[in-house]
Structure 1
Protein backbone atom coordinates (compact mmCIF):
# COMPACT_ATOMS: atom_id res chain seq x y z
CA UNK A 1 0.00 0.00 0.00
CA UNK A 2 1.86 2.92 -1.34
CA UNK A 3 0.20 6.30 -0.83
CA UNK A 4 0.43 8.63 2.17
CA UNK A 5 3.71 6.95 3.13
CA UNK A 6 2.09 3.53 3.53
CA UNK A 7 3.55 0.59 1.65
CA UNK A 8 3.41 -3.19 1.96
CA UNK A 9 6.52 -4.72 0.43
CA UNK A 10 5.45 -7.33 -2.16
CA UNK A 11 8.07 -9.89 -1.14
CA UNK A 12 7.02 -9.61 2.50
CA UNK A 13 3.38 -10.09 1.55
CA UNK A 14 4.48 -13.28 -0.16
CA UNK A 15 6.36 -14.51 2.89
CA UNK A 16 3.56 -13.70 5.33
CA UNK A 17 0.86 -15.20 3.18
CA UNK A 18 2.31 -18.72 3.15
CA UNK A 19 1.28 -19.00 6.80
CA UNK A 20 -2.34 -19.12 5.65
CA UNK A 21 -1.96 -22.47 3.89
CA UNK A 22 -1.96 -24.90 6.79
CA UNK A 23 -1.94 -25.40 10.56
CA UNK A 24 -1.16 -28.17 13.09
CA UNK A 25 -1.84 -28.91 16.75
CA UNK A 26 -3.62 -31.51 18.88
CA UNK A 27 -6.89 -33.52 18.96
CA UNK A 28 -10.63 -33.08 19.66
CA UNK A 29 -9.99 -36.17 21.76
CA UNK A 30 -8.32 -34.27 24.60
CA UNK A 31 -10.19 -31.01 24.05
CA UNK A 32 -8.04 -29.53 21.26
CA UNK A 33 -8.17 -29.56 17.45
CA UNK A 34 -5.79 -30.88 14.81
CA UNK A 35 -6.19 -27.50 13.13
CA UNK A 36 -4.20 -24.86 15.00
CA UNK A 37 -6.62 -21.99 15.51
CA UNK A 38 -4.98 -18.62 14.90
CA UNK A 39 -2.15 -19.77 12.65
CA UNK A 40 -3.75 -18.27 9.55
CA UNK A 41 -3.69 -14.53 10.04
CA UNK A 42 -3.03 -11.44 7.89
CA UNK A 43 -3.11 -11.69 4.06
CA UNK A 44 -4.68 -15.14 4.40
CA UNK A 45 -6.04 -15.15 0.86
CA UNK A 46 -2.81 -14.34 -0.99
CA UNK A 47 -0.71 -16.93 -2.83
CA UNK A 48 2.77 -15.42 -3.48
CA UNK A 49 4.75 -15.31 -6.68
CA UNK A 50 6.84 -18.44 -7.51
CA UNK A 51 9.66 -19.30 -5.13
CA UNK A 52 10.49 -20.82 -1.75
CA UNK A 53 9.30 -19.32 1.53
CA UNK A 54 9.90 -20.17 5.19
CA UNK A 55 7.63 -19.29 8.09
CA UNK A 56 8.42 -20.07 11.73
CA UNK A 57 5.80 -19.74 14.47
CA UNK A 58 6.64 -19.63 18.16
CA UNK A 59 3.36 -20.69 19.75
CA UNK A 60 2.40 -20.47 23.42
CA UNK A 61 -0.86 -21.68 24.94
CA UNK A 62 -2.14 -21.73 28.52
CA UNK A 63 -5.66 -22.88 29.35
CA UNK A 64 -7.83 -24.94 31.69
CA UNK A 65 -11.28 -26.45 32.13
CA UNK A 66 -13.34 -28.19 34.81
CA UNK A 67 -15.07 -30.44 32.28
CA UNK A 68 -14.31 -34.10 31.57
CA UNK A 69 -12.07 -34.99 28.60
CA UNK A 70 -11.02 -38.29 27.01
CA UNK A 71 -7.23 -38.25 26.57
CA UNK A 72 -5.24 -41.26 25.28
CA UNK A 73 -7.82 -43.75 26.54
CA UNK A 74 -8.30 -42.14 29.97
CA UNK A 75 -11.11 -39.95 31.31
CA UNK A 76 -9.70 -36.76 32.81
CA UNK A 77 -11.39 -33.93 34.72
CA UNK A 78 -10.11 -30.56 35.92
CA UNK A 79 -7.65 -30.09 33.05
CA UNK A 80 -4.84 -27.53 33.00
CA UNK A 81 -2.81 -27.38 29.76
CA UNK A 82 0.32 -25.46 28.79
CA UNK A 83 2.24 -25.70 25.52
CA UNK A 84 5.28 -24.07 23.93
CA UNK A 85 5.66 -25.21 20.33
CA UNK A 86 7.91 -24.21 17.44
CA UNK A 87 6.11 -24.71 14.11
CA UNK A 88 8.46 -24.70 11.10
CA UNK A 89 6.85 -24.38 7.68
CA UNK A 90 8.35 -24.51 4.17
CA UNK A 91 6.34 -23.55 1.08
CA UNK A 92 7.04 -23.89 -2.63
CA UNK A 93 5.02 -21.60 -4.88
CA UNK A 94 5.13 -23.26 -8.28
CA UNK A 95 4.86 -21.87 -11.82
CA UNK A 96 1.94 -24.24 -12.39
CA UNK A 97 -1.46 -22.70 -13.04
CA UNK A 98 -4.78 -24.54 -12.83
CA UNK A 99 -7.92 -22.68 -13.83
CA UNK A 100 -5.75 -19.54 -13.94
CA UNK A 101 -4.91 -20.07 -10.25
CA UNK A 102 -1.39 -20.46 -8.88
CA UNK A 103 -0.50 -23.76 -7.16
CA UNK A 104 1.37 -23.89 -3.84
CA UNK A 105 2.56 -26.96 -1.93
CA UNK A 106 4.49 -27.42 1.30
CA UNK A 107 4.64 -28.85 4.77
CA UNK A 108 4.80 -28.18 8.49
CA UNK A 109 6.75 -29.84 11.32
CA UNK A 110 5.97 -28.92 14.97
CA UNK A 111 8.36 -29.51 17.86
CA UNK A 112 7.70 -28.45 21.41
CA UNK A 113 6.79 -29.01 25.03
CA UNK A 114 3.37 -29.74 26.47
CA UNK A 115 2.36 -30.07 30.12
CA UNK A 116 -1.00 -31.43 31.29
CA UNK A 117 -2.41 -31.56 34.82
CA UNK A 118 -5.66 -33.39 35.65
CA UNK A 119 -7.72 -34.23 38.73
CA UNK A 120 -8.95 -37.74 37.77
CA UNK A 121 -7.27 -40.11 35.33
CA UNK A 122 -8.81 -43.55 34.81
CA UNK A 123 -12.08 -45.23 33.87
CA UNK A 124 -12.92 -48.91 34.43
CA UNK A 125 -14.90 -50.96 31.84
CA UNK A 126 -17.96 -50.39 34.05
CA UNK A 127 -17.57 -46.62 33.86
CA UNK A 128 -16.14 -46.03 37.35
CA UNK A 129 -13.53 -43.26 37.55
CA UNK A 130 -10.44 -44.07 39.61
CA UNK A 131 -7.31 -42.23 40.67
CA UNK A 132 -6.46 -38.73 41.86
CA UNK A 133 -4.48 -35.79 40.56
CA UNK A 134 -1.75 -36.37 38.01
CA UNK A 135 0.72 -34.26 36.04
CA UNK A 136 2.50 -35.21 32.83
CA UNK A 137 4.79 -33.40 30.39
CA UNK A 138 6.56 -34.17 27.13
CA UNK A 139 9.03 -32.51 24.77
CA UNK A 140 9.01 -34.09 21.32
CA UNK A 141 7.89 -33.87 17.68
CA UNK A 142 4.22 -33.41 16.84
CA UNK A 143 2.23 -34.57 13.82
CA UNK A 144 3.54 -33.08 10.55
CA UNK A 145 1.17 -31.79 7.87
CA UNK A 146 1.27 -31.62 4.06
CA UNK A 147 -0.82 -29.13 2.12
CA UNK A 148 -1.74 -27.77 -1.29
CA UNK A 149 -3.41 -24.51 -2.21
CA UNK A 150 -4.67 -22.84 -5.37
CA UNK A 151 -4.99 -19.06 -5.41
CA UNK A 152 -6.15 -16.12 -7.51
CA UNK A 153 -5.73 -12.34 -7.25
CA UNK A 154 -7.12 -9.18 -8.85
CA UNK A 155 -6.40 -5.47 -8.54
CA UNK A 156 -8.66 -2.59 -9.58
CA UNK A 157 -6.84 0.69 -8.91
CA UNK A 158 -6.27 0.93 -5.16
CA UNK A 159 -8.50 -2.07 -4.41
CA UNK A 160 -6.87 -5.49 -4.13
CA UNK A 161 -8.55 -8.89 -3.85
CA UNK A 162 -6.99 -12.32 -3.38
CA UNK A 163 -8.57 -15.67 -2.57
CA UNK A 164 -7.62 -19.34 -2.48
CA UNK A 165 -8.85 -22.85 -1.78
CA UNK A 166 -6.70 -25.23 0.25
CA UNK A 167 -6.44 -28.74 1.71
CA UNK A 168 -4.21 -30.00 4.51
CA UNK A 169 -3.48 -33.60 5.53
CA UNK A 170 -2.34 -34.29 9.13
CA UNK A 171 -0.07 -37.34 9.39
CA UNK A 172 -0.19 -39.29 12.71
CA UNK A 173 3.52 -39.94 13.30
CA UNK A 174 4.12 -37.50 16.18
CA UNK A 175 4.99 -38.57 19.72
CA UNK A 176 2.00 -40.42 21.20
CA UNK A 177 1.45 -43.13 23.80
CA UNK A 178 -1.85 -44.58 24.98
CA UNK A 179 -2.39 -43.88 28.68
CA UNK A 180 -0.09 -40.83 28.67
CA UNK A 181 -2.06 -37.60 29.10
CA UNK A 182 0.68 -35.36 27.61
CA UNK A 183 1.18 -36.11 23.91
CA UNK A 184 2.48 -34.04 21.00
CA UNK A 185 0.81 -36.31 18.43
CA UNK A 186 -2.89 -37.11 17.96
CA UNK A 187 -2.48 -40.71 16.68
CA UNK A 188 -5.04 -40.27 13.92
CA UNK A 189 -5.32 -38.91 10.40
CA UNK A 190 -7.06 -35.63 9.68
CA UNK A 191 -8.05 -33.53 6.67
CA UNK A 192 -8.74 -29.80 6.70
CA UNK A 193 -10.26 -28.12 3.63
CA UNK A 194 -11.37 -24.55 3.17
CA UNK A 195 -11.11 -21.18 1.50
CA UNK A 196 -9.40 -17.90 2.39
CA UNK A 197 -9.73 -14.31 1.19
CA UNK A 198 -7.99 -10.94 1.51
CA UNK A 199 -9.42 -7.52 0.65
CA UNK A 200 -7.01 -4.57 0.65
CA UNK A 201 -7.16 -0.84 0.01
CA UNK A 202 -3.73 0.31 -1.18
CA UNK A 203 -4.54 4.01 -0.70
CA UNK A 204 -5.90 3.79 2.84
CA UNK A 205 -3.64 0.94 3.98
CA UNK A 206 -6.49 -1.22 5.27
CA UNK A 207 -6.79 -4.99 5.10
CA UNK A 208 -9.55 -7.49 5.85
CA UNK A 209 -8.78 -11.21 5.66
CA UNK A 210 -10.61 -14.38 6.60
CA UNK A 211 -10.50 -18.18 6.50
CA UNK A 212 -13.43 -20.61 6.55
CA UNK A 213 -12.65 -24.32 6.82
CA UNK A 214 -13.81 -27.77 7.92
CA UNK A 215 -11.65 -30.34 9.72
CA UNK A 216 -12.51 -34.01 9.16
CA UNK A 217 -11.10 -36.13 12.00
CA UNK A 218 -10.18 -39.80 11.78
CA UNK A 219 -10.23 -42.50 14.45
CA UNK A 220 -7.56 -43.13 17.07
CA UNK A 221 -6.85 -46.83 16.48
CA UNK A 222 -5.25 -47.28 19.91
CA UNK A 223 -8.25 -45.99 21.89
CA UNK A 224 -11.02 -46.63 19.29
CA UNK A 225 -12.08 -43.01 19.84
CA UNK A 226 -13.53 -41.30 16.76
CA UNK A 227 -13.43 -37.50 17.05
CA UNK A 228 -16.21 -35.50 15.38
CA UNK A 229 -15.77 -32.99 12.57
CA UNK A 230 -15.36 -29.23 13.12
CA UNK A 231 -15.92 -25.94 11.31
CA UNK A 232 -13.66 -22.95 11.95
CA UNK A 233 -13.63 -19.25 11.03
CA UNK A 234 -10.70 -16.82 11.37
CA UNK A 235 -10.81 -13.06 10.72
CA UNK A 236 -8.24 -10.23 10.60
CA UNK A 237 -8.80 -6.49 10.30
CA UNK A 238 -5.71 -4.29 10.33
CA UNK A 239 -4.25 -0.92 9.41
CA UNK A 240 -0.88 -0.68 7.67
CA UNK A 241 1.16 2.28 8.93
CA UNK A 242 4.27 4.12 7.71
CA UNK A 243 7.78 2.77 8.40
CA UNK A 244 6.76 -0.89 8.07
CA UNK A 245 4.46 -1.11 11.11
CA UNK A 246 0.88 -2.37 11.18
CA UNK A 247 -1.70 -3.20 13.84
CA UNK A 248 -5.19 -4.62 14.07
CA UNK A 249 -7.58 -7.16 15.53
CA UNK A 250 -7.66 -10.93 15.02
CA UNK A 251 -10.19 -13.54 16.03
CA UNK A 252 -11.35 -17.12 15.54
CA UNK A 253 -14.32 -19.34 16.27
CA UNK A 254 -14.51 -23.13 16.04
CA UNK A 255 -17.55 -25.36 16.49
CA UNK A 256 -17.83 -29.14 16.27
CA UNK A 257 -20.86 -30.17 14.18
CA UNK A 258 -20.73 -33.99 14.53
CA UNK A 259 -20.40 -35.83 17.85
CA UNK A 260 -17.46 -37.91 19.02
CA UNK A 261 -17.98 -41.66 19.29
CA UNK A 262 -16.24 -44.54 21.03
CA UNK A 263 -15.66 -42.60 24.26
CA UNK A 264 -16.97 -43.20 27.80
CA UNK A 265 -20.79 -43.17 27.97
CA UNK A 266 -20.68 -40.49 30.68
CA UNK A 267 -19.58 -37.97 28.02
CA UNK A 268 -22.90 -38.20 26.16
CA UNK A 269 -23.23 -36.07 23.00
CA UNK A 270 -19.65 -34.75 23.11
CA UNK A 271 -19.19 -31.67 20.89
CA UNK A 272 -16.80 -28.76 21.41
CA UNK A 273 -16.66 -25.06 20.61
CA UNK A 274 -14.46 -22.06 21.41
CA UNK A 275 -13.88 -18.47 20.32
CA UNK A 276 -10.87 -16.18 20.60
CA UNK A 277 -10.15 -12.48 19.97
CA UNK A 278 -7.22 -10.15 20.53
CA UNK A 279 -4.69 -7.64 19.16
CA UNK A 280 -2.20 -8.08 16.34
CA UNK A 281 0.87 -6.03 15.46
CA UNK A 282 3.57 -6.51 12.84
CA UNK A 283 6.82 -5.02 11.57
CA UNK A 284 8.29 -5.28 8.07
CA UNK A 285 12.00 -4.88 7.45
CA UNK A 286 14.66 -5.74 4.90
CA UNK A 287 17.90 -7.69 5.48
CA UNK A 288 20.28 -9.61 3.19
CA UNK A 289 18.35 -8.34 0.18
CA UNK A 290 15.11 -9.94 1.41
CA UNK A 291 11.91 -8.47 2.82
CA UNK A 292 11.19 -10.10 6.18
CA UNK A 293 8.48 -9.74 8.76
CA UNK A 294 7.57 -10.28 12.40
CA UNK A 295 3.94 -10.70 13.41
CA UNK A 296 2.67 -10.92 17.01
CA UNK A 297 -0.88 -12.13 17.74
CA UNK A 298 -2.64 -12.76 21.04
CA UNK A 299 -6.00 -14.55 21.27
CA UNK A 300 -8.01 -14.52 24.50
CA UNK A 301 -10.53 -17.36 24.37
CA UNK A 302 -14.21 -17.34 25.38
CA UNK A 303 -17.39 -19.44 25.10
CA UNK A 304 -15.50 -22.74 25.42
CA UNK A 305 -17.43 -25.98 25.76
CA UNK A 306 -15.89 -29.46 26.04
CA UNK A 307 -12.38 -28.10 25.55
CA UNK A 308 -9.87 -26.02 27.46
CA UNK A 309 -10.16 -22.21 27.46
CA UNK A 310 -7.25 -19.82 27.84
CA UNK A 311 -4.82 -17.64 25.91
CA UNK A 312 -2.86 -18.32 22.71
CA UNK A 313 0.11 -16.25 21.52
CA UNK A 314 1.88 -16.45 18.13
CA UNK A 315 5.19 -14.82 17.19
CA UNK A 316 5.66 -15.41 13.46
CA UNK A 317 8.85 -14.81 11.46
CA UNK A 318 8.53 -14.93 7.66
CA UNK A 319 11.18 -14.78 4.94
CA UNK A 320 11.52 -15.65 1.24
CA UNK A 321 14.59 -17.79 0.47
CA UNK A 322 15.24 -15.95 -2.81
CA UNK A 323 16.29 -12.26 -2.85
CA UNK A 324 13.72 -9.59 -3.62
CA UNK A 325 13.41 -8.79 -7.33
CA UNK A 326 14.96 -5.48 -8.44
CA UNK A 327 12.57 -2.50 -8.34
CA UNK A 328 10.73 -1.72 -11.55
CA UNK A 329 12.25 1.14 -13.53
Structure 2
Protein backbone atom coordinates (compact mmCIF):
# COMPACT_ATOMS: atom_id res chain seq x y z
CA UNK A 1 0.00 0.00 0.00
CA UNK A 2 2.86 2.36 0.83
CA UNK A 3 4.49 1.74 -2.56
CA UNK A 4 1.18 2.34 -4.34
CA UNK A 5 0.86 5.72 -2.63
CA UNK A 6 4.43 6.64 -3.61
CA UNK A 7 3.80 5.73 -7.25
CA UNK A 8 0.63 7.81 -7.23
CA UNK A 9 2.54 10.70 -5.68
CA UNK A 10 5.16 10.51 -8.42
CA UNK A 11 2.46 10.46 -11.07
CA UNK A 12 0.90 13.63 -9.61
CA UNK A 13 4.27 15.30 -9.21
CA UNK A 14 5.41 14.58 -12.75
CA UNK A 15 2.10 15.72 -14.18
CA UNK A 16 2.56 19.09 -12.49
CA UNK A 17 6.33 19.44 -12.33
CA UNK A 18 7.60 18.94 -15.87
CA UNK A 19 8.39 22.61 -16.30
CA UNK A 20 9.75 24.92 -18.91
CA UNK A 21 13.03 23.21 -18.19
CA UNK A 22 13.33 19.76 -16.54
CA UNK A 23 11.14 17.12 -14.98
CA UNK A 24 12.18 17.97 -11.44
CA UNK A 25 9.55 18.14 -8.71
CA UNK A 26 11.82 19.38 -5.90
CA UNK A 27 11.78 22.87 -7.35
CA UNK A 28 9.34 24.91 -9.38
CA UNK A 29 10.00 26.43 -12.79
CA UNK A 30 13.70 27.22 -12.43
CA UNK A 31 16.21 24.56 -13.43
CA UNK A 32 19.02 24.15 -10.90
CA UNK A 33 22.48 24.01 -12.44
CA UNK A 34 21.97 26.30 -15.42
CA UNK A 35 24.12 29.14 -14.08
CA UNK A 36 27.09 27.53 -12.32
CA UNK A 37 30.28 29.56 -11.88
CA UNK A 38 29.74 33.31 -11.93
CA UNK A 39 25.97 33.02 -11.64
CA UNK A 40 25.64 35.57 -8.79
CA UNK A 41 27.52 38.30 -10.72
CA UNK A 42 25.53 41.00 -12.56
CA UNK A 43 27.50 42.39 -15.55
CA UNK A 44 28.11 46.12 -16.19
CA UNK A 45 25.39 48.29 -17.77
CA UNK A 46 24.40 47.06 -21.22
CA UNK A 47 22.19 44.56 -23.04
CA UNK A 48 23.00 40.86 -22.84
CA UNK A 49 21.77 37.65 -24.41
CA UNK A 50 22.35 34.33 -22.70
CA UNK A 51 21.39 31.07 -24.35
CA UNK A 52 21.22 27.73 -22.56
CA UNK A 53 21.14 24.31 -24.21
CA UNK A 54 20.21 21.66 -21.62
CA UNK A 55 19.91 17.89 -21.89
CA UNK A 56 18.51 16.10 -18.84
CA UNK A 57 18.73 12.30 -19.07
CA UNK A 58 16.47 10.53 -16.53
CA UNK A 59 17.61 7.06 -15.51
CA UNK A 60 15.23 6.27 -12.62
CA UNK A 61 12.40 7.36 -10.34
CA UNK A 62 13.06 7.47 -6.60
CA UNK A 63 10.68 6.94 -3.67
CA UNK A 64 10.59 8.76 -0.32
CA UNK A 65 13.61 6.73 0.88
CA UNK A 66 15.62 7.49 -2.25
CA UNK A 67 15.24 3.92 -3.50
CA UNK A 68 14.67 3.22 -7.20
CA UNK A 69 11.08 2.44 -8.23
CA UNK A 70 11.05 -1.03 -9.92
CA UNK A 71 10.73 -1.21 -13.68
CA UNK A 72 12.19 0.61 -16.65
CA UNK A 73 11.75 4.33 -15.88
CA UNK A 74 13.62 6.65 -18.18
CA UNK A 75 13.18 9.87 -20.11
CA UNK A 76 14.84 12.91 -21.63
CA UNK A 77 14.21 16.63 -21.48
CA UNK A 78 15.91 18.89 -24.02
CA UNK A 79 15.64 22.65 -23.64
CA UNK A 80 16.85 25.68 -25.55
CA UNK A 81 16.36 28.69 -23.30
CA UNK A 82 16.84 32.33 -24.26
CA UNK A 83 17.45 34.89 -21.52
CA UNK A 84 17.53 38.63 -22.19
CA UNK A 85 19.05 40.96 -19.59
CA UNK A 86 19.19 44.76 -19.69
CA UNK A 87 21.38 46.35 -17.04
CA UNK A 88 20.64 50.07 -16.90
CA UNK A 89 22.90 52.90 -15.76
CA UNK A 90 20.52 53.52 -12.83
CA UNK A 91 21.35 52.57 -9.25
CA UNK A 92 19.00 51.45 -6.49
CA UNK A 93 20.24 51.13 -2.87
CA UNK A 94 23.78 51.25 -4.22
CA UNK A 95 23.19 48.49 -6.78
CA UNK A 96 23.06 48.48 -10.58
CA UNK A 97 19.44 48.04 -11.67
CA UNK A 98 18.28 45.77 -14.48
CA UNK A 99 15.39 43.77 -15.90
CA UNK A 100 15.21 40.36 -17.59
CA UNK A 101 13.04 37.91 -19.53
CA UNK A 102 13.37 34.14 -20.10
CA UNK A 103 11.76 32.17 -22.95
CA UNK A 104 12.25 28.35 -22.97
CA UNK A 105 11.65 25.95 -25.87
CA UNK A 106 11.27 22.31 -24.77
CA UNK A 107 11.13 18.74 -25.96
CA UNK A 108 10.14 16.15 -23.35
CA UNK A 109 9.92 12.37 -23.73
CA UNK A 110 8.92 10.26 -20.71
CA UNK A 111 8.82 6.45 -20.64
CA UNK A 112 8.09 5.48 -17.02
CA UNK A 113 6.98 1.89 -17.62
CA UNK A 114 7.31 1.04 -13.94
CA UNK A 115 4.47 3.41 -13.08
CA UNK A 116 2.55 2.98 -16.32
CA UNK A 117 3.29 6.49 -17.61
CA UNK A 118 4.41 7.38 -21.13
CA UNK A 119 4.11 10.75 -22.86
CA UNK A 120 5.96 13.29 -24.99
CA UNK A 121 5.49 16.96 -25.86
CA UNK A 122 7.37 19.92 -27.33
CA UNK A 123 6.89 23.66 -27.69
CA UNK A 124 7.44 27.02 -26.00
CA UNK A 125 7.34 26.72 -22.21
CA UNK A 126 6.18 29.13 -19.51
CA UNK A 127 7.72 32.61 -19.82
CA UNK A 128 9.52 34.49 -17.04
CA UNK A 129 9.55 38.27 -16.58
CA UNK A 130 11.81 39.85 -13.97
CA UNK A 131 11.26 43.57 -13.31
CA UNK A 132 13.82 43.69 -10.49
CA UNK A 133 17.47 42.71 -10.88
CA UNK A 134 20.00 44.33 -8.53
CA UNK A 135 23.75 43.84 -8.54
CA UNK A 136 26.36 45.05 -6.03
CA UNK A 137 30.12 44.96 -6.56
CA UNK A 138 33.09 45.17 -4.20
CA UNK A 139 36.86 44.73 -4.56
CA UNK A 140 36.65 40.98 -3.90
CA UNK A 141 32.91 40.26 -3.88
CA UNK A 142 29.71 40.52 -5.91
CA UNK A 143 26.09 40.10 -4.84
CA UNK A 144 22.74 39.91 -6.62
CA UNK A 145 19.04 40.09 -5.76
CA UNK A 146 16.17 39.56 -8.19
CA UNK A 147 12.41 39.12 -8.18
CA UNK A 148 10.02 38.09 -10.93
CA UNK A 149 7.32 35.69 -12.05
CA UNK A 150 6.96 32.63 -14.26
CA UNK A 151 3.62 32.94 -16.07
CA UNK A 152 1.46 29.96 -17.04
CA UNK A 153 1.64 30.82 -20.74
CA UNK A 154 2.36 27.32 -22.06
CA UNK A 155 0.13 24.32 -22.73
CA UNK A 156 -0.64 22.14 -19.69
CA UNK A 157 -2.92 19.14 -19.17
CA UNK A 158 -3.11 16.87 -16.16
CA UNK A 159 -3.58 13.97 -18.58
CA UNK A 160 -0.29 14.81 -20.35
CA UNK A 161 2.62 14.50 -17.86
CA UNK A 162 5.12 15.75 -20.45
CA UNK A 163 3.27 19.06 -20.89
CA UNK A 164 5.71 21.88 -21.58
CA UNK A 165 3.81 24.14 -19.16
CA UNK A 166 3.27 23.69 -15.43
CA UNK A 167 -0.28 24.99 -15.30
CA UNK A 168 0.48 27.46 -12.52
CA UNK A 169 2.40 30.69 -11.96
CA UNK A 170 5.52 30.92 -9.81
CA UNK A 171 6.95 33.94 -7.99
CA UNK A 172 10.73 33.56 -7.85
CA UNK A 173 13.03 35.41 -5.44
CA UNK A 174 16.79 35.26 -6.00
CA UNK A 175 19.70 36.04 -3.68
CA UNK A 176 23.32 35.16 -4.27
CA UNK A 177 26.92 36.18 -3.88
CA UNK A 178 30.45 35.50 -5.11
CA UNK A 179 33.55 35.84 -2.99
CA UNK A 180 36.85 36.18 -4.86
CA UNK A 181 39.44 34.56 -2.66
CA UNK A 182 42.37 36.62 -3.98
CA UNK A 183 42.81 40.25 -5.07
CA UNK A 184 43.43 39.20 -8.68
CA UNK A 185 39.99 37.49 -8.59
CA UNK A 186 41.40 34.23 -9.95
CA UNK A 187 39.68 32.04 -7.35
CA UNK A 188 35.96 32.32 -6.70
CA UNK A 189 33.42 30.74 -4.36
CA UNK A 190 29.76 31.38 -5.19
CA UNK A 191 26.23 30.46 -4.11
CA UNK A 192 22.95 31.39 -5.82
CA UNK A 193 19.65 30.68 -4.05
CA UNK A 194 16.13 30.72 -5.54
CA UNK A 195 12.92 30.64 -3.50
CA UNK A 196 9.73 29.78 -5.41
CA UNK A 197 6.11 30.35 -4.39
CA UNK A 198 3.48 28.73 -6.64
CA UNK A 199 -0.18 29.41 -7.35
CA UNK A 200 -2.95 26.82 -7.66
CA UNK A 201 -3.24 24.78 -10.83
CA UNK A 202 -6.69 25.59 -12.19
CA UNK A 203 -7.08 22.19 -13.82
CA UNK A 204 -6.11 20.04 -10.82
CA UNK A 205 -6.83 22.28 -7.80
CA UNK A 206 -3.33 21.42 -6.49
CA UNK A 207 -1.04 24.15 -5.15
CA UNK A 208 2.58 22.90 -5.25
CA UNK A 209 4.52 23.58 -2.05
CA UNK A 210 7.12 26.32 -1.78
CA UNK A 211 10.62 25.26 -2.80
CA UNK A 212 14.18 26.41 -2.29
CA UNK A 213 17.30 25.57 -4.25
CA UNK A 214 20.95 26.52 -4.15
CA UNK A 215 23.53 26.40 -6.93
CA UNK A 216 27.15 26.62 -5.85
CA UNK A 217 30.57 26.68 -7.47
CA UNK A 218 34.29 26.79 -6.70
CA UNK A 219 36.31 28.03 -9.67
CA UNK A 220 39.81 28.95 -10.82
CA UNK A 221 40.50 31.33 -13.71
CA UNK A 222 43.83 30.80 -15.47
CA UNK A 223 46.07 33.29 -17.26
CA UNK A 224 44.74 32.24 -20.69
CA UNK A 225 41.18 33.15 -19.62
CA UNK A 226 39.93 29.58 -19.17
CA UNK A 227 37.94 28.95 -15.99
CA UNK A 228 37.56 25.48 -14.46
CA UNK A 229 35.64 24.49 -11.38
CA UNK A 230 33.48 22.24 -9.29
CA UNK A 231 29.74 22.94 -9.30
CA UNK A 232 26.62 21.49 -7.72
CA UNK A 233 23.00 22.08 -6.81
CA UNK A 234 20.66 21.16 -3.99
CA UNK A 235 16.85 21.56 -4.18
CA UNK A 236 14.15 21.00 -1.59
CA UNK A 237 10.37 21.13 -1.64
CA UNK A 238 9.78 22.87 1.69
CA UNK A 239 6.00 22.52 1.92
CA UNK A 240 3.60 19.73 1.08
CA UNK A 241 1.35 20.20 -1.93
CA UNK A 242 -2.05 21.57 -1.01
CA UNK A 243 -5.07 19.85 -2.52
CA UNK A 244 -3.51 16.37 -2.74
CA UNK A 245 -4.98 13.35 -0.94
CA UNK A 246 -4.01 13.24 2.74
CA UNK A 247 -2.05 10.00 2.25
CA UNK A 248 0.26 11.74 -0.23
CA UNK A 249 0.56 15.12 1.45
CA UNK A 250 3.85 14.56 3.31
CA UNK A 251 5.88 13.19 0.41
CA UNK A 252 8.03 16.24 -0.30
CA UNK A 253 10.73 15.98 -2.97
CA UNK A 254 14.41 16.84 -2.96
CA UNK A 255 17.43 16.37 -5.21
CA UNK A 256 21.22 16.85 -4.93
CA UNK A 257 23.85 16.95 -7.68
CA UNK A 258 27.60 17.42 -8.18
CA UNK A 259 29.52 18.27 -11.34
CA UNK A 260 32.29 20.06 -13.22
CA UNK A 261 32.34 23.16 -15.42
CA UNK A 262 34.69 24.76 -17.94
CA UNK A 263 34.35 28.11 -19.67
CA UNK A 264 35.99 31.13 -21.21
CA UNK A 265 35.03 34.75 -21.95
CA UNK A 266 36.53 36.76 -24.83
CA UNK A 267 36.24 40.47 -23.81
CA UNK A 268 37.17 41.77 -27.26
CA UNK A 269 34.23 39.88 -28.77
CA UNK A 270 31.85 40.22 -25.85
CA UNK A 271 31.29 36.46 -26.03
CA UNK A 272 31.44 33.77 -23.35
CA UNK A 273 31.07 30.00 -23.62
CA UNK A 274 30.57 27.48 -20.81
CA UNK A 275 29.90 23.75 -20.53
CA UNK A 276 28.96 21.76 -17.44
CA UNK A 277 28.02 18.21 -16.48
CA UNK A 278 26.02 17.28 -13.37
CA UNK A 279 25.26 13.90 -11.82
CA UNK A 280 22.32 13.67 -9.42
CA UNK A 281 23.68 11.45 -6.66
CA UNK A 282 20.64 11.64 -4.37
CA UNK A 283 16.93 12.32 -4.80
CA UNK A 284 13.68 11.53 -3.00
CA UNK A 285 10.16 11.46 -4.46
CA UNK A 286 11.65 12.64 -7.71
CA UNK A 287 13.53 11.67 -10.84
CA UNK A 288 17.26 11.02 -10.85
CA UNK A 289 19.59 11.51 -13.79
CA UNK A 290 22.41 13.45 -15.43
CA UNK A 291 22.40 16.94 -16.89
CA UNK A 292 24.59 18.43 -19.62
CA UNK A 293 24.44 22.21 -20.01
CA UNK A 294 25.98 24.49 -22.65
CA UNK A 295 25.83 28.25 -22.17
CA UNK A 296 26.46 31.14 -24.57
CA UNK A 297 26.68 34.76 -23.43
CA UNK A 298 26.80 37.72 -25.82
CA UNK A 299 27.21 41.33 -24.70
CA UNK A 300 25.86 44.08 -26.97
Residue of 149, 152, 157 corresponding to 2:133: 149
2:275 to 287, 296, 310: 296
Give deviations 1:102-122, integer Å, cap 9, x for gaps. 11101000002101123377x
**Structure 2 unaligned runs (5+)?**
1-18, 65-70
Q: Residues 59, 303 of structure 1: CA spacing in aligned structure 2 closer, same or farther, 3 A cutoff?
A: same
Q: How does 1:41-56 map to 2 (within 5 A)?
A: 41-56=36-51
Please report the RMSD computed on the Cα atoms of aligned residues, expressed in angstroms: 2.2
Deviation (angstroms), 1:202:
4.2
Cα gap change, 1:48 to 1:268, in 2 (>3 Å): closer
Aligned to 2:14: none
Work out which of the two has the higher radius of gyration on C-alpha atoms and give 1 or 2.
1
How far residue 198 of structure 1 moved from its aligned partner, in angstroms, is 1.0
Structure 1-normalised TM-score? Answer: 0.77
| Cα distance change of structure 1 residues 44 and 107 upon mapping to structure 2, 3 Å threshold | same
Structure-2 residue corresponding to 1:234: 215
* 1:224 and 2:205 aligned: yes
Question: Structure 2 CA distance, aligned partners of 1:208 and 1:143?
Answer: 31
Matched, 1:104 2:103: no
Does the C-alpha gap of structure 1 residues 291 and 48 become closer, same or farther in structure 2, counting only changes over 3 Å?
same
Among candidates 140, 160, 165, match of residue 123 of structure 2: 140
Helix, strand or coil for the counterpart of 1:186?
Answer: coil
Residue 61 in structure 1 maps to residue 56 in structure 2: yes
From 84, 90, 93, the equivalent of 2:78 is 84
CA distance in 2, matches of 1:259, 1:268: 6
Mark the CA change 1:226 to 1:204 in structure 2 (over 3 Å): closer, same or farther.
closer
- In the alignment, structure 1 residue 164 sits paired with structure 2 residue 144: yes
Residues 220 and 82 of structure 1: CA distance in aligned 2, closer, same or farther (over 3 Å): same
Mapped partners of 2:22, 2:220: distance in 1: 32
TM-score by length of 2: 0.84
Question: How far off its partner does 1:78 sit?
Answer: 6.8
Compared CA separation, residues 120 and 249, structure 1 to 2 (3 A): closer
Q: Which runs of 5+ in 1 are unaligned?
A: 1-22, 69-76, 122-132, 322-329
Counterpart for residue 325 of structure 1: none
